[in-house]
Amino acid sequence: MAKDVLCEVNSCKFWAAGNHCHASSIYVVNNRDKQAKHSEETDCKTFESKL
């Protein structure tokens, strides 16, 4: 398991200084109906807007 999760999406409420993610868990899914082969084909469902 990863020790640190890094994220550049500073509009997410879990984003912290140094591009660290402070969510208690991370949920990533395919963004298409088939298995992802590239990172562009995935979405982070953990994202919650700060606003």
One digit per residue, the tens of pLDDT, for the chain of length 51 reads: 778 999 999 999 999 999 999 999 999 999 988 899 999 999 999 999 998
Q: Give me the domain span that covers residue 34.
A: 1-51
- In the three-class reduction of DSSP (H, G, I as helix; E, B as strand; rest coil), residue 41 is classed as helix
Number of domains in the chain: 1
Q: Which residue has the tokens 């807007």?
A: 49
pTM check: above 0.95: no
What backbone torsions phi and psi does residue 28 show, to the nearest 5 degrees? -120, 135
What backbone torsions phi and psi does residue 42 show, to the nearest 5 degrees? -125, 160
Q: Which residues contact 34 (CB under 8 A, 6 or more apart)?
A: none
Residue 40: predicted pLDDT: 94
